[in-house]
Amino acid sequence: MKENLVKFEKPPITHLKKGNKGIIIKDMAKKNYILLISLIAALGGLLFGFDIAIVAGTVPFLEKHFSLSEAQLGWTVASLYVGCIIGSFSTGYLTDRFGRKIPLIIAAAIFVVSSVFMGWSPTQNMLIVWRMIAGIGVGAASMLSPLYIAEVSPANVRGKMVSINQLTIVIGILIAYSSNYFLSGIENNWRWMFTSGAAPSLLFVISAFFLPESPRWLISKGKIENAKIILGKTISLQKANDEIIAIQANLKSEIKGRISDILKKGVAPVVLLGITMAVFQQISGANAVFFYAPKIFEKAGMNISDQLFQQILIGCINLIFTLVSMQLVDRIGRKKLMLFGSSFMALWLLVISIFFHFSFFEGYWLTIVVLAFVATYATTLAPVTWVYISELFPTRIRGISISLATGMLWVACFLLTYLFPILIENLKATQTFLLFAAICFIYFLILLKFAPETKGKTLEEVESGL
């Protein structure tokens, strides 16, 4: 029996040792490496989410501390996005000139310094100045993190890896909401809310030093061996050689990108589509919910404690459905998710508008519909827009185009953030949410007509198919 048992077990063990076992271990190592560097780069997304959300909890206290009007409140909150515009526009040049790693480290350092100085600003004007400086870091991270992850990830997992950036954004939002809730009862609460961002920012600064440079950028600078080493850690050597050849061929067939290139025939429509996606992500109404949830629920008669707790619920739903999106983006595809999202977001916004029109605030129905809206956004427009932006543009102008698209995204975000308190006071909540519903429906029609599907394609294949 012993001999029979040995003879029975030996073949599969030998087979695993000589064949599949070694391959599986190598594949797992490559996957873990891709995941690790994507997570580090995506810390920029976490701080991005933290910085844009932390102000929501400070709104009731800032209004009281500085005696702010609706317009002053809008400007204080929206000032961050002035810096975001500057950061995203300027970072495109820096990434094409100096690579992806150095600008990421600079952005991380900005997060650390600005978090402390926002928290302990003596006047409203100083708070606004430091929010603008913080915005430079947010704007830089908003384009750098997805760009970097897209360039180091293989095509078959790129959507999921880029979605990690959105995952960390919503984790940052949830951390900010939780921080606001637990700090709301202490003295100088709003100051500590802002300052709490310094800890994760310092972690990002340290971690960013360990990131490798983007292989695509290295190849564009003629550093082929360095690129091959990095690619060899994420894909097989044969695939790495094939990828280098494809990237080199792509670069040789193109002239070095200039700002004027985005106006050329065949390029301008793609850039315009990317800008449209970026802008509509911001004016869809989701950020009004994320940034001004306390004011929305205040209109429904909730006290401050309940308002801040509703934000934690929003943050939790946002996180859960971002995880759902990560499982769907490489299976269902980018376009189908975006079409689903824009249509159902229009529906939920219409229902919210009806609730406010008829003052239907009994029970938790408003909360349920708001959470359904957030869930839809978190599964579709929020992460998939970043995937699209990271994939859509031609190689020679990718840095410039992503910079332009994210710059316009922040212009749209600034306008929305500044105008929402004014809109909800003057147009009233009913008309405000009806306007957002119409915007989402228009976006659905644009996507249906013009958006391509990029699922499962290399960046070079996406470019050749446009």
What is the pLDDT, as a whole number, of residue 462? 63
CB 290 within 8 A of CB 80: no
Sign of the four-CA dihedral 362, 366, 367, 369: positive
What is the pLDDT, as a whole number, of residue 437? 96
Q: Cα torsion for 316, 318, 320, 321, to the nearest 10°?
A: 160
79's enclosing H/E stretch is: helix 70-98
User: What's the rounded Cα separation, in Å, for the pair 409 and 431?
Assistant: 24
Helices (H), 99-123: 101-119
What lies within 8 Å, CB to CB, of 436 at 6+ separation is 283, 284, 285, 288, 349
Nearest CA-CA partner of 245 in 223, 266, 268, 224 = 224
User: What's the rounded Cα separation, in Å, for the pair 202 and 23?
Assistant: 37
What is the pLDDT, as a whole number, of residue 12? 47
Sign of the four-CA dihedral 316, 319, 325, 326: negative
User: What's the rounded Cα separation, in Å, for the pair 75 and 56?
Assistant: 13
Q: What share of the chain is helix, strand, coil (3-state, %, to 5)?
A: 85, 0, 15
CB 465 within 8 A of CB 255: no
Delimiting residues of CATH 1.20.1250.20 domain(s) in the chain: 23-211+254-465
Amino acid occupying residue 291: F
Place of tokens 């080199």: 248
Give one DSSP letter per residue of 368-434, joined into a string.
HHHHHHHHHHHHTHHHHHHHHHHHHS-GGGHHHHHHHHHHHHHHHHHHHHHHHHHHHHHTHHHHHHH
For the chain, 466 residues long, give each residue's pLDDT as a single digit of tens: 444 444 434 444 444 455 555 556 666 777 788 888 888 888 888 888 888 888 888 888 888 889 888 888 889 988 998 998 888 778 877 888 888 889 999 999 999 999 999 999 999 999 999 999 999 998 888 778 888 888 888 777 777 787 788 788 888 988 998 988 888 888 888 899 999 989 889 999 999 898 888 888 888 888 888 888 888 787 777 777 878 887 787 777 655 556 666 777 767 888 899 899 999 998 998 888 877 776 777 776 777 777 778 888 888 998 899 889 878 888 888 899 999 999 999 999 999 999 988 888 766 788 889 999 999 999 999 888 878 877 887 766 777 787 788 778 878 888 988 888 888 778 788 898 999 999 999 999 999 998 888 776 666 666 665 5
User: What's the rounded Cα separation, in Å, for the pair 205 and 104?
Assistant: 8
CB 147 within 8 A of CB 95: yes
What is the pLDDT, as a whole number, of residue 345? 97
**Class for the domain spanning 23-211+254-465:** mainly alpha
- N-term to C-term CA, the chain: 66
pTM: 0.72
Sign of the four-CA dihedral 134, 137, 142, 143: positive
pLDDT in tens, 416-447: 888 888 887 787 888 989 999 999 999 999 99
Look up residue 157 and give its DSSP letter. Answer: G
Q: How many CB atoms lie within 10 A of CB 67?
A: 9
Chain centroid to CA 78: how far? Answer: 18
Nearest CA-CA partner of 104 in 152, 146, 145 = 145
CB 344 within 8 A of CB 379: no
Strand, coil or helix: what is 147?
A: helix
Strand, coil or helix: what is 280?
A: helix
